[in-house]
Amino acid sequence: SPPAAVSQVTVRDALNQALDEELERDERVFLLGEEVAQYDGAYKISRGLWKKYGDKRVIDTPISEMGFAGIAVGAAMVCLRPVCEFMTFNFSMQAIDQVINSAAKTCYMSAGSIAVPIVFRGPNGASAGVAAQHSQCFAAWYGHCPGLKVVSPWSSEDAKGLLKAAIRDDNPVVMLESELLYGVPFEMSEQAQSKEFVIPIGKAKIEKQGTHVTLVAHSRPVGHCLEAAAVLSKEGVECEVINLRTIRPMDIEMVEASVVKTNHLVTVEGGWPQFGVGAEICARIMEGPAFNYLDAPAVRVTGADVPMPYAKILEDNSIPQVKDIVFAVKKALNI
């Protein structure tokens, strides 16, 4: 049989494809947020959708996150399936009461009688030159809260498969995208471009097999890990790179299986160190069966413990770079 067709698709187009397919598939799905309709989205994620589906399905809102997130949560409670876009997740702070107190807790507090099938999505973490107001990673914040599912895609395939899964899920899902990945093209198989392609929430993916050290990351740092792995490979060190994909529920079994194989662990994230995603992974490994297989302490690579500076040189030094990952691997392997 001929090889399956593979094409280059940007993360932006993959997200647009997912939204288009789900709006078409289920009339209960609608998109709301600032600039999502007539302007085609602040980052052009919703390009063409307002023209195709009209005012009832793609809705421009005022600049009032608490207001439109609340409207979306209420709509979800009466069986619609809203996709609520935040222009950046930093602005979700205005609506965190709605996300946690209204969306995340309702299914539990109603003994399962009220589902809240809603997706909160938008760019998360550092962009470029937007300083502290726009550069925080919320993976640890939202990953902390029971009642939410939290996904953090890297590639175009991740973005499409996880957004479709999130929209179809009966729970509130927080989808943390990276603005710096929107324009990046990734190879996408024919299967990944089909209308029924979904990635199950809670399953990580091994992006590169290796034997010497396990690298675990989510979102943009997955790419940095693969770059670091290529550098280290030339020095005879083979890294296994795991793309978490989901922050909550976390696929700790895949990380454990990898650590059992490599005996070394390095976690990489753009967020802050204290109470971070890497901290959680390290704790889970320490408490579980893989701990006895570690030949050295786990090492965390994180963003700097500061609000994001504006100056480019300081920003570069506040975000994990490939050289930081290479350094951490050598530290873990004592080379």
Marked catalytic residue, from 21, 65, 179, 315: 65
What is the CB neighbour count within 10 angstroms for residue 59? 18
β-strand partners of 173? 119, 149
The yes-or-no answer on residue 227 being catalytic is no
Burial class (CB in 10 A: 0-12, 13-18, 19+), 299: buried
Catalytic residue from among 134, 212, 224, 264: 134
CA distance 260 to 292: 8
Distance separating alpha carbons of residues 116 and 70, to the nearest angstrom:
12
Q: Active site includes 134?
A: yes
> What amino acid is encoded at 187 in this protein?
E
Contacts of 91 (CB under 8 A, 6+ apart): 65
**Sequence-ordered list of residues with C-beta below 8 angstroms from that of 104, at least 6 positions apart, any chain:** 116, 145, 146, 147, 148, 172
* Straight-line distance from the first to the last Cα atom of the chain, in angstroms, rounded to the nearest whole number: 46
- For 286, phi and psi rounded to 5 degrees? -65, -35
Q: Which residues contact 117 (CB under 8 A, 6 or more apart)?
A: 76, 79, 81, 169, 170, 171, 172
d(CA 196, CA 175): 19
Strand partners, 172: none
| Helix and strand element counts for the chain (H, E) | 12, 14
Active site residues: 65, 134
